[in-house]
Amino acid sequence: MKLSTLFLSGAMVGALLATAAPVLAQVPPVIPQYNIGDAVRQADEARRAAPQPREAAAPVLPRLVEPPFSLKDKSTLLVRHFKVEGTELVNEAEIRDILAPYENRKLTLAQIYEAADKITTLYRDRGYLLAKAYVPAQNATGGTLRIKVVPGKYGTIAVQNNSLVRDAFLHGVIDHALATSALIHKDELERTMLLISDLPGAGMPRVAVNAGRQPETSDFVFDVPAARRIDGYQLFDNFGSPYTGRERLSIGLNVNSPLGIGDRLSAFGIVSDDINLANGRVAYSLPIGYTGLRAEVAGFRTTYVLGGIYSGLDATGTADGVSATLVYALRRTREDSIYLSGGYTHKTLNDNVFGISLANRTMDLGTIGITRDTFGSIFGHPVTTSTTFSFTGGNVDFPDPVQRAINIAGVNTVGDYEKINLVFNSVLGLTDKLSLSTDIRAQKSLSGNLDTSEQLSLTGIWGVRSFDEGLAGDSGFIITPELKYALPDIRNYRHSIGLFTDVGAAWIENASYTTLQKAYTQINDVGLGYYATYEYFPGRVLLLKAMVAHTYGSNDGAQSYDRGTKGLVQVGATF
């Protein structure tokens, strides 16, 4: 774009503002505060927070039920010492501690079996689910009694497949996951079950175990139930921006395992009032081999038309992008899962005012991350956590030299950039009805100012909720603790109330280019929430979220976004 064109556009804007002198005080700046980066960020946050069509079931591991021991008579045996064979898998000192109370005394047959059962329990607590300590036939009149430990080995593996995933692929997952050891262990078996349930089109397998044909082995049968071919959700809310429309409709649709390999074809869309904001995304994901590695490729488009105070500027924007992502389940158990991820995104973004391009740019970025999900307890109270740490590095380029020069002289986001992000969620069960959830989102720019699409949202539904969507920063944090109380169920209707507060802050790394936003902004709110679901069909729910948030403390730097007291509602359904 030539400089003369920019001067001409400025003259046009000046003339328009001059003719509107009676309402000059209400006319916004020619350069809107909202741009395509905000629109992309808003749409992406809505997609990431959408409900999942189904909840992952917990694996139920098989256990052999041993018959009770009985005595035919009251005879005893003097046992001076136990000799245990097959102790390589646990610390022998632990076994000696278990057996010490039984040595150098006369034992009944029941007491001998009791000692062996305690060794069996020790092995099973260490994850060897089918381990067995038994007392073989022997001559123990010399005072030494022999106990043999059989850890349990896999025999034959069979699959009863009712899922959408092909038999051969399920066998591949099972064979690979169990190939690390011939011994039956909880971690490998649990990983196998969870990796199968992670496949779109397959449910959590039920596992049956029987005595094996070979000595010291057990045969397994994996019964894999079906999952739905098509699932998704539809949501309506008033979470949107005042500039592009508060009311929004979003739809997500998944086609599960279309090729029979646990793949998925997904589509997502969101539109606001009068389609002032529109976003569409299509993705295809599939497992790479049988190891727990999964790949996804996606493409998206986002458009906006500004309304409200900017309706006279003919302000529009468009973003197009493609991405590729890899996720690997490094560890996969019910109580502790670790995922490694890496991704690449290419996108083009452009903003226009009065039909003139102001910021046509391209972005290339890569992200690596690690996520850990845990389920455990603290002082006897159940707690779940999910923690994600990621690093993003990228480049912003303005093909037009004039726009590039303007950007360098102003916000200066041209060139390479880096940032780190932390996302933490936890739920602590205080009682059967009362729980405390904590959500933390934090970001730190490592390279100065960021493009708006890469900033952290401070306000709106994913930030401090009493403020309108739109205020963001290069670095910042949002902390949201919420105390929830589960109300009594009414048949399939489950509901709860919550008391929450949002505490957040954001800052611009170099704010010298603007007077429209302070370098540092810190805001807070407190609110009440009501949450409800109604299961209208197994695995399908109607849902409702209703929240009221009220600002407290200073709103300095965010007055134009502050609603004081704000009501937020979302209704929808999964299918």
Banded model confidence at residue 31, pLDDT cuts 50, 70, 90: low
Q: Is the pLDDT score of 526 beyond 70?
A: yes
Mean pLDDT computed over 174-186: 88
**Domains defined along the chain, listed by start:** 31-54+228-574 (2.40.160.50), 76-150 (3.10.20.310), 153-224 (3.10.20)
Q: Angle at CA 246, nearest 5°, toward 244 and 251?
A: 90
Are the CB atoms for 314 and 354 separated by under 8 Å? yes
Of 252-266, 374-388, 549-563, give the lowest mean pLDDT range: 549-563
| 55 band by pLDDT with thresholds 50, 70 and 90 | low
Tokens of 463: 């930030």
Contact 505/476 with Cβ under 8 angstroms? yes
Mean pLDDT of all residues in 212-238 = 92
Q: How far is CA 394 from CA 40, 200, 311, 364, 452, in A?
A: 16, 32, 33, 5, 14
* Residue 492 token pair: 């399939």
Q: Which pLDDT does position 16 carry in this prediction?
A: 33
> What does the DSSP assignment read for 420-480?
EEEEEEEEEESSSSEEEEEEEEEEEESSS---GGGSEE-BSTTSBTTB-TT-EESEEEEEE
Separation of alpha carbons 56 and 79, rounded Å: 50
Phi, psi of 98 (to 5 degrees): -65, -40
User: What pLDDT digit, counting tens, does each position of 276-321 carry?
Assistant: 999 999 999 999 999 999 999 999 999 999 988 888 899 999 999 9
Count Cβ atoms within 10 A of the Cβ of residue 68 and give its class: 0-12 exposed, 13-18 middle, 19 or more buried: exposed
Q: Do the beta carbons of residue 364 and residue 345 sit within 8 Å?
A: yes
How many CB atoms within 10 Å of residue 466?
Answer: 27
Which pLDDT does position 5 carry in this prediction?
37
> Residues of 182-209 as b/e, b for ≥16 C-beta within 10 angstroms?
ebbbbbbbbbbbbbbbbbbbbbbbbbeb
The CA angle 342-422-252, to the nearest 5 degrees, is: 65
Q: What is the DSSP letter of 59?
A: P
pLDDT at 10: 39
All residues at 6 or more sequence positions from 522 whose CB lies less than 8 Å from its CB, including other chains: 504, 505, 553, 554
The whole-angstrom distance between residue 552's C-alpha and the CA centroid of its chain comes to 30
With b for 16 or more beta-carbon neighbours within 10 A and e for fewer, the 1-36 pattern comes to: eeeeeeeebeeebeeeeeeeeeeeeeebebebbbbb
Average confidence score pLDDT of the chain: 89
Amino acid 73: pLDDT: 65
Q: For 59-92, what is each residue's pLDDT tens digit?
A: 776 655 444 333 356 778 888 999 988 777 888 8
pLDDT (tens digit per residue) in 450-507: 999 999 999 999 999 999 998 999 999 999 999 999 999 999 999 999 999 999 999 9
Task: Please give the pLDDT value at position 407.
Answer: 95
Alpha-carbon gap, residue 446 to 511, rounded angstroms? 15
To which residue do tokens 């009220």 refer? 550
Question: With DSSP H G I counted as helix, E B as strand and the rest as coil, what are the percentages for the chain, rounded to 5?
Answer: 20, 50, 30
pLDDT tens sequence across 383-437: 999 999 999 999 999 999 999 999 999 999 999 999 999 999 999 999 999 999 9
